Every structure is written in C-alpha cells, then in structure tokens.
Amino acid sequence: MDTTNHGAERPHDPNVGHETTDVNLELVDRVGIGLAVALVLSMLAAWGVFRFLQNREVAGDPPPRPVTAIEAPGALSPILQTNEPEDLGRFRAAEDRALHSYGWVDRDAGVVQIPIDLAIDLVSERGLPAAAPTASTLAAPVAVGQAEDGVAGAAGTSADDEAEARGQAPSAPPENR
C-alpha cells in the first residue's frame, strides 16, 4: 500500500507557478467605458438627425385646411359606393348588353358592333383580318381576293368579304346581310 501523503505541501519550484502578469484591468475598464460613451453619443446623434429631418419635413408641408361646416359648391369630394352589389349588377348588365348586341360604333367610318358569339364564329371561319400595310408589304404587292389559281373573286366570296379583306367597311351592318 502507498503511504504517500497527498495533502502535503510540494516543494517550492521557482520555475513552476502562476502568471505574474494578469490582464490589465485598467485598460479593460477604459475600453468598456469608451464603448458605452460612444454608444450613448451615437444614439444622441441619431436622435438629433431624426428631429432635424422631422422639423424640416413639417416646415415644408402646407398648413392644414381649416375645417368648415359647409363645403363650397362644386368642391371635390370622394365618390363612395353605397351599394356595391347593385353597382356590380348594373356594371355586369351593361357589359352583357355591349357583348350581345348590334350597333354602330362609328357610323361615318362604317365601324359596327356585333355580338361576341357571332364575332367568334366569324373569326374562326375567316381568320383574323390582315394587318395594315407596312413598308415591307408595300414593296411586294399581293392581289387581294385572288384564289390560289389567280382568279379574282373566288367562289364563296362577296364584295363585302373582299372589302373587309382590304380593311374597308362592309356596305351594310351584319344584321342586314
């Protein structure tokens, strides 16, 4: 059995021990205090900049309009919807009338309005109308209304169809054809 006394003092060796120089607490204190002062100064500077900008903005705003009991006639006021479902119903009814009726858009120019279903059928049968001529299409003219065999006015076409192909208005509105 080991009879060594572990609680006994060890012999003092001058080469073994603790650090004789510790952290410079005075320097740590100074850095901490400096950081705290810098933080407070930056917060005060930010507050001052915000106050300056706020005062500058308020100075540039026009003075508020005095409140009056009666507005002048013709003064602008917001137009508010008081019955949204009824307004929506009127709006949709007007759209339906426009989409499903005949009428003149511009009588002088010969522009007519046709029901949407008829317009869809006509576009599916005839295709989209030709685009307006450009500089490249003017260089190489193409005869309008000629069939593949070169004969003008191919079977199944009318004068109105040929007028529409040239971008001109038909002689009568679609409901009369």
Q: Residue ranges per domain, the chain?
A: 103-130
Residue 90 has what pLDDT? 94
- The model scores a pTM over 0.85: no
Mean confidence (pLDDT) of the chain: 75
Q: Yes or no: say if 162 and 145 are a contact pair by the CB < 8 Å rule.
A: yes
List, as one string, the DSSP characters of 36-73: HHHHHHHHHHHHHHHHHHHHHHHHHSPPPPPP-SSPPT
Q: List pLDDT tens digits, range 87-140.
A: 999 999 999 998 999 988 899 998 999 999 999 999 999 888 777 777 665 555
Q: What is the pLDDT of residue 85?
A: 92
Residue 144 has pLDDT above 60, yes or no: no
Is the pLDDT at 177 greater than 50? The verdict is: no
Which residues, at least 6 apart from 115, have a Cβ–Cβ distance to it below 8 Å? Answer: 99, 100, 101, 102
Residue-level pLDDT at 36: 98
The pLDDT score that the predictor gives to residue 6 is 61
Task: Quote the CA–CA distance of 173 and 110 in Å, as a whole number.
Answer: 8
The one-letter amino acid at 168: Q
Backbone phi, psi, residue 85, to 5°: -60, -40
